[in-house]
Amino acid sequence: MHIKLDEAQLDAFAANGLLIIDNFLKQELVQDVLTEAKYWQEQEAFKQAAVGNLINLKVQENYRNDQIKWINSSDCLPATKAYLQVLETLRLQMNREFFLSLKDQECMYAIYPKGSFYKKHSDQFYQLKHRIISIVFYLNENWTAELGGQLIIYKDDNIERINPIFNRIVIFKSELMHEVLPCHAERFSITGWLKDQLNDVNFL
């Protein structure tokens, strides 16, 4: 599957470091991705999310209390694999359009149980800044603002408040500070990053 950003979308990202696209993929595919996420939930494959990098990783539930499952090529199911192919197309397009050197992607399913949150943070680690572009794809049917769980992105003096609605993708610079407000219902997404380092290189 090859989905490319159009000129207006590329201009918006260049100007703001942030792009929001609704109805990003075919509804049937998104529904299948959600079904696959729920399958892994039933298999108890999700773990409590931690903070920090591989060198300094620890669970801090007062800072974030979502649950995650990393997406691996060895057990990736068909719909999710199709989504990863879309991200690969975006990686190549970002390299061409913005003269970046994005070399790889990493992704995880994320579940925010009712009452969970993720306080203000950046996706770039203090000493490891290989995450360049963050991408969040939402899988929540019939989500309303009253259910909370909004993604808040801080940019200069502006605040973007983004509802996690079904088939919405949010693409932003990983350096931007952001947070997830408390959820009043279970919230599903795939969170990913485009990186300037291969995933099998972990010593820098």
The residue ranges of every structural domain in the chain are 7-195
200 has a pLDDT exceeding 70? no
Higher pLDDT, 50 or 15: 15
Write out the two tokens for 66: 């979502």
The 10 Å Cβ neighbour count of residue 147 is 17
Distances (CA, A) of 126 to 53, 63, 82, 172, 176: 9, 17, 32, 18, 13
Cα-flanking dihedrals φ and ψ of residue 49, to 5°? -70, 150
Q: Is 43 helix (H, G, I), strand (E, B) or coil?
A: coil
Report residue 67 CA to chain centroid gap: 13
pTM greater than 0.75 (yes/no): yes
pLDDT digits over 21-35, tens only? 999 999 999 999 999
Domain 7-195 has CATH 2.40.30.170: no
180 has a pLDDT exceeding 70? yes
Non-local CB neighbours of 93 within 8 Å, separated by 6+ positions = 4, 5
> Range with the lowest mean pLDDT among 25-29, 115-119, 123-127, 176-180?
123-127
